[in-house]
Structure 1
Amino acid sequence: MIQIFITMENNQTSATKHSFTYGMIIGVIMIALTLIYYVLDINTMDKSNRWTGWISTVIMFAGMTYATVNYRNKQLGGYISFGKSFSIHFFTGLFSGILSGLFMILFMSFVGAEFTQQVFDQAEEEMLKQNPNMTDEQIDMALKFTGWMLHPVSIGILGVLSAAFFSAIYGLIASIFVKKEDPNLPPVV
């Protein structure tokens, strides 16, 4: 059972509360980054602006690792199991993804509607450029799918799902390096 706002008996913050706190911090940073891109009129979907995705990825992964190392050092006396490390990585990324996903639903519904149309038009243009022999029926079907993908709720849900997926993958990899077994505990067989 997940207990988000419970503090353990020995005055140790629960891993879930810690993940929630850092997930919200990372989520706010990601939202601020989105707003900066919007104000500066940087189209993050444009191939020439792929660097925006790399910045977001580095911030997300660095934040998840910082949250886990911080919990290991301040709450667990410098030791953490692979499973606990994975759990903190995953839930930190998931909570950040949920906050960012909710923001994107609101942002794309109200503020970013013209951005959605711009991306839709760009996708249509790119599709016709790559496949000039498409029939009208194929174009309509592809545009219908693109329209569904660009719906604010779809963007939010896909954002949460991708955050969960990549948090799990990154958590598995990073936990190999972050884990530090307590030598005073018996080895797990």
Structure 2
Amino acid sequence: MDAKISPAKSGTLYGVLFGVIMILEFVIMYVIGMKSLVDTSVGTIVNVANYLVLPILFIFLGCNHYKKNINNGFISFSESLKTGVSITVVAGLIYALFSVIFNFIFPDFINEMLEITKSQMITQNPNITDKELEMGLGMVRKFMNPFIVFPVTLVMYALIGLIYSLIIGAIIKNDKP
């Protein structure tokens, strides 16, 4: 008798692939130079990929894999939710761990990002006061803290996975008769 593979476990590989792709995007952008990419559409494209295209793609692939290869052509709504959320949580976990480790290895990265943010704030609002600028940079600095980045990334990707899994699950579900 074959042991049944859970929907969450079946999505782990897709979550790992998704997390590794996000890390590669980040590393490539860092190597190229974030300062040179700030005023281009590259950052927007990466964000659209990480929060829209890649989650939908990997959730769809993971649910379809579970449906066709593991569950004999059937997938319930709850199984697609479990698969999709597990994919995005695994990806978020990998990316959050990388982000925390990266910030410990390269502590100057936070200062670089704060300088980029400061120049953007001044460009967007030339009349900003020093107090408003420091208050805004203080908030950015708080959200770059590893103890904030890690849980926020996990929760954010879990919610993204939940929303997209609801949509994809409604489309591809095929209950056993």
* TM-score band, normalised by shorter chain: 0.7 to 0.9
The one-letter code matched in structure 1 to 2:165 is G
Could you list the runs of 5+ residues in structure 1 that have no partner in the other structure? 1-8
2:165 aligns with 171
Distance 1:39 1:137, change over 3 A: closer
The one-letter code matched in structure 1 to 2:17 is I
SS where residue 11 of structure 2 aligns? helix
The one-letter code matched in structure 1 to 2:60 is T
Task: Determine which structure has greater relative contact order: mean sequence separation of CA pairs < 8 Å that are 6+ residues apart, divided by chain length.
Answer: 2
- Of structures 1 and 2, the larger Rg is shown by 1
Q: Does 1:118 align with 2:112?
A: yes
2:154 aligns with 160
Moved over 6 A (4+): none
The one-letter code matched in structure 2 to 1:91 is S
TM-score (norm 2): 0.84
CA RMSD of aligned residues (A): 2.3
Distance 1:30 1:129, change over 3 A: closer
TM-score (norm 1): 0.80
Distance 2:14 2:49 in 1: 18
Q: Does 1:28 align with 2:20?
A: yes
Which has a greater percent of helix? 2
2:63 aligns with 68
Distance 1:144 1:159 in 2: 19
Overall identity of the aligned pairs, in %: 23
2:125 aligns with 131
Q: Does 1:143 align with 2:137?
A: yes
Distance 1:127 1:61 in 2: 32
Could you list the runs of 5+ residues in structure 2 that have no partner in the other structure? none
